[in-house]
Amino acid sequence: MRKARLTVPQVLKQLEAFYGEQEPCWPSDPYLFLLWWYCGYPASDASCTKGWKELTGKIGTDLDAILGSHPATLAAALKPGGMFPELRAERIKEVTT
């Protein structure tokens, strides 16, 4: 006799029932996600979150705030996120233009 197979939605319901509803630890807005992604290197949830907290706390995510910030100030805010904060600061400025 053939076993009944679970469908993907059924499996997802079972996983959600066991683990609870999952929430991303990064922004879901595409622009903010790109900023978050460049906040850490090597990119990981932990390093990006560290840089993100500093960026949002010291400078903010508004286009004018990022474009108006001095590159050294932006790099200093991104330093907790890991290596190459100057390069990541340049990339974040590129994302905002």
Whether 18 maps to a domain, the answer reads no
Q: Which residue intervals of 2-97 are DSSP H helices? A: 8-19, 30-38, 45-58, 63-68, 71-78, 85-96
Whether 86 maps to a domain, the answer reads yes
Span 55-77, pLDDT tens digits = 999 999 999 999 999 999 999 99
Whether 12 maps to a domain, the answer reads no
Single-letter amino acid code for the residue at 15: L
Q: What is the pLDDT of residue 1?
A: 64
pTM for this prediction: 0.78
Contacts of 6 (CB under 8 A, 6+ apart): 14
Q: Per residue, what are the HEC states of 35-54? A: HHHHCCECCCHHHHHHHHHH
Average model confidence (pLDDT) across the chain: 93
Confidence of residue 97 (pLDDT cuts 50, 70, 90): confident
Q: Give the domain range for residue 62.
A: 30-96
Q: What is the pLDDT of residue 77?
A: 94
- Structurally, the chain folds into a number of domains equal to 1
Single-letter amino acid code for the residue at 80: P
